[in-house]
Amino acid sequence: MEINTKPVRLKPETREVLAQVRDFPEATPLYGLSAEEADRILRFLYEPMLDGAALPLVVLNGLRWYCRELARVFRAKRGYPLAFQLELVLRKWVALGSESELLQQLLCSIWEQLVEGQERTAMTPSSPRGSDSASAGGPDPYADTPTGPG
């Protein structure tokens, strides 16, 4: 298997997003969340973009894995380390053969939606900082909900 080791040429929009990430004064809404919760929120953002794409399933699955890796980075880092890690993830997926333009567009769209969602209101009922009772180990509001037939 041949790995693409050519440098990735970042679009101006991507460079601008990475600069915003470096200078962003707050943590993203995904920062500090569990892996499942961060993945669920990010899936809510990227699935509508991927659903309408006329791409082969193998390409769509690769893009989903890329977005999952973005979720992992967004929930664990902030500021300059976040921007550096996002660029590394982008370069990794380009080296693995994914289309650079598409990956950069996904990153830019996800970042814009995260920032827009943070400016409006919190994106989920639970606080990203873990201050409500459900994320602080309080009672599960869905504990009495049946999960199957019967």
Domain ranges of the chain: 12-120
pLDDT of 147 above 90: no
Cβ contact 32:72 at 8 Å: no
CA–CA separation, 60 and 137 (whole Å) = 36
Per-residue confidence at 133, pLDDT binned at 50, 70, 90?
A: very low
> pLDDT tens digits, residue range 37-68?
989 988 888 888 888 788 888 998 999 999 99
pLDDT of 104 above 90: yes
Q: What is the pLDDT of residue 115?
A: 85
pLDDT of 86 above 60: yes
Predicted TM-score (pTM) of the model is 0.73
pLDDT of 143 above 80: no
**More confident site: 138 or 38:** 38
Cβ contact 133:139 at 8 Å: yes
